[in-house]
Amino acid sequence: MSATSYTGDEPFVYACYPREDLHLVQPEFDRMHELGIRVSFPAPEAEPGDDGRLAAAAFVLVLVSDSMEEDPEIRKEVSSALEDGKEIWAVHVVDVPLGGAAKLLLSSVSSLHKHEVAEDEYVRRLVRLLPDEVKSKPIDLGPDPSSSAPVRRQEPGVKDQLESMGNAQLGIVAGAVVIVVLILLAMAMTGGDEGPKTAASATPEPTESLSPEEAAEVARLQREREERAKERREKERLEREARDKEQAAATKVANAVSKARSAFAEDEYEQVIELLTPILKEQPKAAAAALLRAQAYMRKYKYAEAVPDFAVVLEAEPKNAEALRGRGEALVRTDKHKDALAHYQALVELTPQDSFAWVDLGDVQMELSDYAAATAAYDKAIELQPASPRGYDKRASARAKAGDEAGAADDRAKARELRNKR
């Protein structure tokens, strides 16, 4: 059975390949799978890096095969990997000559040519170039047959060598060490921000002069990389500024709400409104500030002003019980009982064990002359608080309005009985 692409979260190799040559590179995927190497590779129909696997890879392999020159998708992936600074190796699965854009693109990539070495040596080199983190288990390929040198005797350690030296020899060694250190310091001071590059990451010089077409292709690829890098930096800058702005706004709201809560606790409702009004002008969707100002408006009997503030809260938090109850009451106080009904229905659905919510719902239904529904709501309130006379008083009114005088009389009697027990 052919190996499938690795989809987990542990470090893995991403292998890009000419999409038409899956039949040529599949044996390489099977080999890596058998060795315990986690390898992820795109489906033939996938867009370059469309699932984020390339960006998440710890290492990138470019499998070079017959269709390399004609496949633009693999060139996009290699260009993207180079731009992201990925460690890349090109593995030439077949001996195919490269030219044009493909040749230039891989000119800066280390390579392994399968056809140039024996099979065992090829596998050994492939395993050796991959980092240990992408291997799900240690890979033991046995002794290296290319190494036939006899076992050397153990060389004396540094300490032993130093002890065997005379004072003059030690002085020479110390002087050499000082010179090396000074050279390294000079290199570090003149190396710029990027620091010295390792031999593995250095870009090899092309061995052949470029034709005008190839030079133009190199320039185009370089421009594309620089443009993508510029766009990425600009996007990151904008996202960072947006996060900073959002954080500053949230902090400002939190500080104002904290001061307003202290004023609310002291019954300073006008001060609450004065503190929060400027904030809500700047940030009209600040739910915490809107809820507190709405409650202050209710305490000042400014019901019409409270309605839109409660609406802001419910837009952000549709299941906020305080806002549902508060806006329902504000609508009742402004004679908008039909609008209030929906809020109380939502409230009893959200808090079915709240007897006060059922009473409030029944009161709105009474105002709308729906006495049967009001009676059912009061029934629920009585069920939740059978020792409270309030529910019986309310239900008595609903029964009387509905023409049930006997039921109303029973409820009034029950309410008097409960009051006398207190």
Express each pLDDT in 335-363 by its tens digit: 999 999 999 999 999 999 999 999 999 99
pLDDT score recorded for residue 192? 44
Provide the sign of the torsion angle of the four alpha carbons 227, 232, 238, 241, taken in this order: negative
pLDDT score recorded for residue 219? 81
Rounded to 10 degrees, the C-alpha dihedral 259/260/264/268 comes to 90
pLDDT score recorded for residue 82? 83
pLDDT score recorded for residue 176? 46
pLDDT score recorded for residue 3? 80
3-state secondary structure the chain: CCCCCCCCCCCCEEEECCHHHHHHHHHHHHHHHHHCECEECCCCCCCCCCCCHHHHCCEEEEEECCCCCCCHHHHHHHHHHHHCCCCEEEEECCCCCCCHHHHHHHCCCEEEEHHHCCHHHHHHHHHHHCCHHHECCCCCCCCCCCCCCCCCCCCCCHHHHHHHCCHHHHHHHHHHHHHHHHHHHHHHHHCCCCCCCCCCCCCCCCCCCCCHHHHHHHHHHHHHHHHHHHHHHHHHHHHHHHHHHHHHHHHHHHHHHHHHHHHHHCCCHHHHHHHHHHHHHHCCCCHHHHHHHHHHHHHCCCHHHHHHHHHHHHHHCCCCHHHHHHHHHHHHHCCCHHHHHHHHHHHHHHCCCCHHHHHHHHHHHHHCCCHHHHHHHHHHHHHHCCCCHHHHHHHHHHHHHCCCHHHHHHHHHHHHHHHHCC
**Residue of higher predicted confidence among 213 and 138:** 138
**Residue of higher predicted confidence among 84 and 385:** 385
User: Cα–Cα distances in Å, from 158 out to 21, 164, 165?
Assistant: 54, 10, 11
The domains of the chain are located at 13-134, 233-351, 353-422
pLDDT score recorded for residue 344? 97
What is the pLDDT confidence band of residue 172, given thresholds at 50, 70 and 90?
Answer: very low
The C-alpha angle with vertex 409 and arms to 407 and 412, in degrees rounded to 5, equals 110
Select the highest-mean-pLDDT range: 1-5, 147-151, 273-277.
273-277
The C-alpha angle with vertex 177 and arms to 174 and 182, in degrees rounded to 5, equals 130
Task: Return the CATH architecture of domain 13-134.
Answer: 3-Layer(aba) Sandwich (3.40)
**In this predicted structure, which of 93-102, 115-124, 203-212, 279-288 has the lowest mean pLDDT?**
203-212
pLDDT score recorded for residue 10? 94
Give Cβ neighbours of residue 113 (< 8 Å, ≥ 6 apart). Answer: 92, 95
**Global pTM exceeds 0.85:** no
15-42 residue pLDDT tens: 989 888 888 889 999 999 999 999 999 8
**Is the confidence at residue 109, as pLDDT, over 90?**
no
Please check whether the two domains, 13-134 and 353-422, share a CATH topology. no
What is the pLDDT confidence band of residue 49, given thresholds at 50, 70 and 90?
Answer: low
Average pLDDT over residues 408-420: 94
- Select from 1.10.340.30, 3.40.50.1950, 2.60.40.10, 1.25.40.10 the CATH code of 233-351: 1.25.40.10
389-412 residue pLDDT tens: 999 999 999 999 999 999 999 999
CATH class (in words) of the domain with range 353-422: mainly alpha
Percentage of the chain exceeding pLDDT 90: 57
Closest CA to 146 of 168, 182, 107, 120: 120
Rounded to 10 degrees, the C-alpha dihedral 311/313/316/321 comes to -100
pLDDT score recorded for residue 74? 82
What is the average pLDDT score of the chain? 83
The C-alpha angle with vertex 366 and arms to 365 and 372, in degrees rounded to 5, equals 75
Give the integer Cα–Cα distance in Å for 57 and 134: 9
pLDDT score recorded for residue 73? 83
151-160 residue pLDDT tens: 433 444 444 4
